[in-house]
A = this chain, B = another copy of it.
Amino acid sequence: MRIELNYKSGQSPYLQIVEQIKYAVAAGSIESHDPLPSIRSLAQELRINHNTVAKAYTELERSGIIATRAGKGCYVTDNHSPLKKSARRQILSDAVDGVIVEAFHLKIDHNTYLQVCEERWSAFEKRRKEKRPTKN
């Protein structure tokens, strides 16, 4: 799990860390109970203040993706999202709406849209299976 900061992207470092870790968990690069690099070591590696990493980790903890314990460290959790099914579906629905608005302005047709939706899901699925072949 390698985190890289892009200072030209315009996105703040702490948000880049949040996104990359969320992405890595979803893609199976890191799994439940895996330890994350400690706040200070990651900060040193990225040459930023440790509070910037701490802010990213706090945000991830708030989302239920990781757990932090003073003195121990940070770990990926397995119980993401305590929301009930209908609420989770609503959040997804809003996110999909955003993509559809984007697709419309990009003049993308229905078939291409569906194709991309399926392709990308398969790509994530594949990476997760490659990472833990015995568990599936």
Contact A102 B108, beta carbon cutoff 8 Å = no
Contact A121 B113 (CB under 8 A): yes
Contact (A23, B121) CB under 8 Å given A96-B116, A113-B92, A116-B92: no
Q: Tell whether A98 is near chain B: CB-to-CB under 8 Å.
A: yes
| Candidates B88, B101, B117; contact of A26 at CB < 8 Å | B101
User: Are the CB atoms of A95 and B104 closer together than 8 Å?
Assistant: no
Instruction: Say whether B120 contacts A97, CB under 8 Å.
Output: yes
Contacts of A112 in B (CB 8 A): 89, 92
Question: Contact at A99–B92, with CB atoms within 8 Å?
Answer: yes
What residue of chain B has the Cβ atom nearest to residue A63's Cβ? B105
- With a cutoff of 8 Å between Cβ atoms, the chain B residues found around residue A102 in the complex are 91-92, 95
Q: How far is the CA of A88 from the CA of B92 in the complex (A)?
A: 22
With both chains docked as a complex, state the minimum distance between the C-beta of A113 and any C-beta of chain B, in angstroms.
6
- Is there contact, CB below 8 Å, between B106 and A92? yes
Contact, CB under 8 Å: A124 / B100:
yes
Q: Which residues of B contact A113 (CB under 8 A)?
A: 92, 117, 121
Residue interface mask A68-107, B partner, CB < 8 A = 1: 0000000000001101000011011101111111111111
